Structure 1
Amino acid sequence: MHKRLKLGMVGGGQGAFIGAVHRIAARIDDEFELVAGALSSNPDNARKSAAQLGISPERAYTDFSEMAKAEAAREDGIDAVSIVTPNHMHFPVAKAFLEQNINVICDKPLTSSLDEAKQLQDIAANSEAEFVLTHNYSGYPMVREARHLVQSGALGALRRINVEYVQDWLSIPINDPDNKQATWRADPKRAGKGGAIADIGTHALQLANFITEQHPAKVAADLTSFVEGRLVDDDAHMLMRYPDGAKGYLWASQVAPGNENSLRIQIYGENAGLTWAQENPNQLWFSPLNAPKQLLTRGGHGTSNLSRDITRVPPGHPEGYLEGFATIYREAADIIRNGRMQSCLLPTLEEGLFGMKFIHAAIQSSENDATWTQI
C-alpha cells in the first residue's frame, strides 16, 4: 500500500475540457490527489475553480510561477504538476516547475514551437524531475498488443505504416467566442503554426511511432486551410519514408464531415498486417498472409501480458479514452516513486521533441510544394 501522490494542475478551470479528463484519469487507479492549482489565467475564475474542486484557498494560486516556488518550498508540496493549458503555455509552465525539480505531466504537443522544445530539453536535462507527455492512445490495451505483435516479429519486416486522425468539428468558421476549445486551436499565437497537424496529427504520429518503434526520417506534406480566413491548417496530408525502407502515410483533418474522432492505423509487413481503430478500441485485427484474419479482443484469448497488464475490466465491457489517460498517470506514478525503468512505455520529452521536429518539417515541406524534407 502507498499514499496517493500530491498533484497540482495548471489550467483546467471552469469551462475547460481536458483538465477534467486529466483529473478523472489521475484518480481512476487512486494514485493521485489534487491538492493545488493555478487553474485559470483569470484570477477570479482560478479561485472559484479551486473552491469547486475542494482545493484549499492557500493552495489556490493565480500565477503558475508563484505556485511552482511555493509548492517547492512546502514540506507537503506537490509531487507532480499536470499542465492542461493551450499549447503556447506548455513551455513557460513546464520550465517553471522543472526548475523547481517538480515532476511534470504535460498535455501534448510538447510546446508551440521547435525552438521552445529544444530549450525545454536542455532545462529538463538539468532538472531532477521526470517529464511525461500524455499521448493517451499509447495507453490503450490493444495498442500495446499491436506493439507486442510488431516486437515479436509476427508481421516480419515492415513495409507500410498508414495512420489517420479525422474529425469534422472545425468544418465551418468559428463564430462563437465562447467556444474556447475551437478558438485557441485556430489562433497561431496560442496553438503555434500547426493546426490539425499539431492538434491531432501528433497523436497519429506518436501512435505509429509507439507501435512500430520506428520514426520517419523524411516527410512530404501538403497542409491546407480549407476554411476561409483560418490562419492554421485544418487538413494535413503527407507521405513518410522510414530509415529501414518502410513507407508511410498520415492524414489529419478537422474538416471531414461525418467523422468524430476517427483515429485509425494499418501496419503491413512481409508476413502479416494489423488494423486498429480508436472508435472501436477493444478490438485489433491481425491478418497473417494466406490465413484467415484473427480478431483479438481486449483481455481475450491469445493476448499478451503487455495488454493484459493494463486491462481493468472484464472482456466485453467497454474500456478506452479515460482509461488510456489513466494508464499514463498510473505509470507516471510508478516512475515518480521508483525512478524511470528500462521497460517504461511512457511518452517522453524526447518523443515530444520529435513530434515538434515533425510539425516543423511538415510545415517546411508544404511551404515548398510538398518537397521531401528531412525531419
Structure 2
Amino acid sequence: MLVTVTGGTGFVGSHSVAALLRTGHQVRLLVRDESTVDGALRPLGLDPGRVDVVVGDVLDESSVIAAVRGADAVLHAAAVYSFDSRQRDRMRQTTERGTQVVLGAARRSDVGRVVHVSTVAALFGKGVRVIGPDSPVGTLREPYLATKAAAERIARAHQDAGTPVAISYPPALLGPHDPRLGDQSTRVRDVLRGLTPIWPTGGFPLGDVRDTAALHAEMLTGSLSGGRHFGPGTYVSTKDYLRHLRAVTGRALPAVRLPARALGPVGHACDLLQRVWPWHLPVQYGAIHTCACATRVDDQVRTHPITARPVADTIADTVRWLHAAGHLTDRQAGRRAHPSANRETTAAAA
C-alpha cells in the first residue's frame, strides 16, 4: 500500500511514517524542504531513501495533487502546533487552508482512505465535561484551538459528504525524537531548566507519540476504516505532571500552582511581550487557557486495541532523549533520568 503523508517531518508525522514503514508499506512525503527528511527519519532508525519525496506545500494545490496521485491512502498531519502568539497567521493558513486543500485533492483523486489528524483540543468548549466522537466542534477562540476547530469542521464536512475520511484525536504528546522540539517537548525542557516555577491548576490529556503513530498505521492500513478515533492517552493534572517529572529526574522542582483563570492576564501580557521580544518566553496564554478548559475523553469510546503507555514511561523517555540530544545538561536531566550524573555526583562528594 502506498500512503502519502503531509507533515511527515514533524513529531507526529515522522513517528507515523516509522510505524507505516515497519509494517511494510510504501510512503510518499509532501515536504517543503527535502533536506529535513534525513533529520526526521534517521534518528528513528529509518533510511530516508525508503520514502518517496514530493517537494511542495499543503497550500499549493498542484503539488498536493502530485503527492496524492496514485496513493492508496493519505495521512494529513501537517499543521502548526503552537501557542506562540507570533504564529497565528501561519496557523490559519497551514492548519485551516491546508486541510481544505489536502482533503479536497484526496477526494478528487479517489483516495481509498484518508486520515485527518485533529486533536482532542478541537472539541474543548465552555461547560464541556467529557468528550467523545459525537461531541460538537469546540468553540474556544484561542488561535491554536480555533484553527484546529476550523480544520475539524472541514474534515467533518467531508465525512458528511461521504468522503472516506477518518479523524484521529491525539492528546498532547510526548516521547523521544521530536524533530522540531515542539510545544510539549519544549515545555518539559523549560520545566527542567527552572523557567516555569508557576503553574496553572487544571490539566490536559497526555499521551505517547508512538502510540498515536500506531493508531494512525491501523487507521490507514488495518481494520479501523472511517469514523473518529481518540489517540491513547490519560488525563493528567498539572500537579501529577510535575510529580512525574520529579520522580523521573529525582529533582525537587519547586513550583506554585495558581488558579488557571487567575493566570490568564499574565499569559496575555506575555503574548504581547513575545511579539517584540526575540527570545522564547515559557509562559503562553494558550497553554494556560487549555489547562483551564481541557476535559477528559469518555472512557467508553475506545475504538481500537492500542493501550496507552504509562505516563511515567513516556515522560522518562522524553527526558532521556532531551538530554541525549543536548537540550538538557546532566544536572537538569537529573540523577534518575541520567544515571551517569548520579555517579559523577557521588564521585565529587567522595
Q: TM-score range by the shorter chain?
A: 0.3 to 0.5
TM-score, length-scaled by structure 2: 0.40
TM-score, length-scaled by structure 1: 0.38
Higher helix share: 2
Higher strand share: 1
